[in-house]
Amino acid sequence: MKLISEGNGEWRHFSYGALSIYKNDFNRIEFNENITQWGKEDIEIAEYIIKLGDIKIFRSLDPGIQEDNLKN
């Protein structure tokens, strides 16, 4: 079973981008601190939130957000 799909958050083919979440909810997530570079952390967080089952994920387009100056 694919946890992440068009209906529960997928709208890019390579990542999920910015995240806004309440601190209490974030503290419930088992974040993988072994990830040291860009990539995969957003997918792991989204999959864990979906497994929790009681936090709603929704897509919100924001054309004003740009990541031009980010570096690994």
Kindly report the three-state secondary structure assignment for every residue of the chain.
CCCCCHHHCCCCCCCCCCCCCCHHHHCCCCCCCCCCCCCCHHHHHHHHHHHHCCCCCCCCCCCCCCCCCCCC
- The pLDDT of residue 17 is above 70: no
Residue-range domain boundaries for the chain: 6-52
Residue 31 has a pLDDT of: 79
pLDDT in tens, 28-42: 888 788 888 777 787
Average pLDDT over residues 15-37: 80
pLDDT in tens, 40-66: 787 788 888 888 888 887 766 666 655
Question: Which pTM value belongs to this model?
Answer: 0.53
